[in-house]
Structure 1
């Protein structure tokens, strides 16, 4: 339901300000900058996703715009206490492009099941933002300089963190899937899936 999707994305967008700016645990300049870069990255990613979709599919879509917005929110999260508006602009631009590729190109090519584009948007968006934090980090904002301020080593630190996170998530996810699969199963039957899980599992549906 596209209307509910827009409402949900709008709630995420507003709530994300508390998520990122609230991490400062204070009403100060750091919180204000985190809120500003969050807005910039989200808006930029929405536009970049829309533009690339317009180029390759000949028409922009509302679903694409809100997907780009979420991609920008995800990507700016690791950077929100460290980058300035310029860095947020580039991170948002990159997130829209990378996540579009992940959700629209990579997923069909690899054929994996990811209805909500968790990997394409959240996974690749998070990786993009974490890596670019090492490039655009501003010492005057977060206390740590990035590549553009002469600290190339920060990019390697970010890369190490990304690899460690991927390994951890892969191991824990594998364990969780095995446990859930043994207890209740991971998939419903095809008829229930086609009919909709709201109806088949809960006996209700949203019109």
Structure 2
């Protein structure tokens, strides 16, 4: 049994979205910039920038949404806030310590990653609007947990180096926690979130394992 009703849940989004406007616009611009940077040739600048954008989304959502707004109806939000802040800090560290490299390369992971990004930014709010959760009573891209998590999985699938496994732990956990809203709170746009962690983790593990084996094979004469 949840400690709040679906109506209270949606009311939090309404109050939150109206209070932070126009941060949602900035989130979309940052998200678009991150995608553009995937094709930027100067990786020494692009990789930390993409990680920084992702980190800022996790930190904002952890502090702003979970800590200051969602906690008003669910005290577990303080735990969620702490986990999102940890994820944001780790994303900053991974990007600026060159542990992760973003980019587009052929393969299923790339197509799925692009699909996740498009879903988080475009399809997610459209489904919300179509099912009666129009703005401001809806989770918005870049500033609320579920779209941020799907977007993060999308970008982690668009990497040219192995993804540090610890970067997947908190997003995977939230895909289950947040994805439960699809069932418990009647938020149909979160159905993809519920399975996104399994899809992303499996594809990343397979892709990175295959790349490691391929790199270890001796070149033919």
TM-score bin, normalised by smaller chain: 0.3 to 0.5
TM-score by length of 2: 0.32
Would you tell me which structure has more helix in proportion to its own residues? 1
Where relative contact order (Cα < 8 A, 6+ residues apart) is larger, the structure is 2
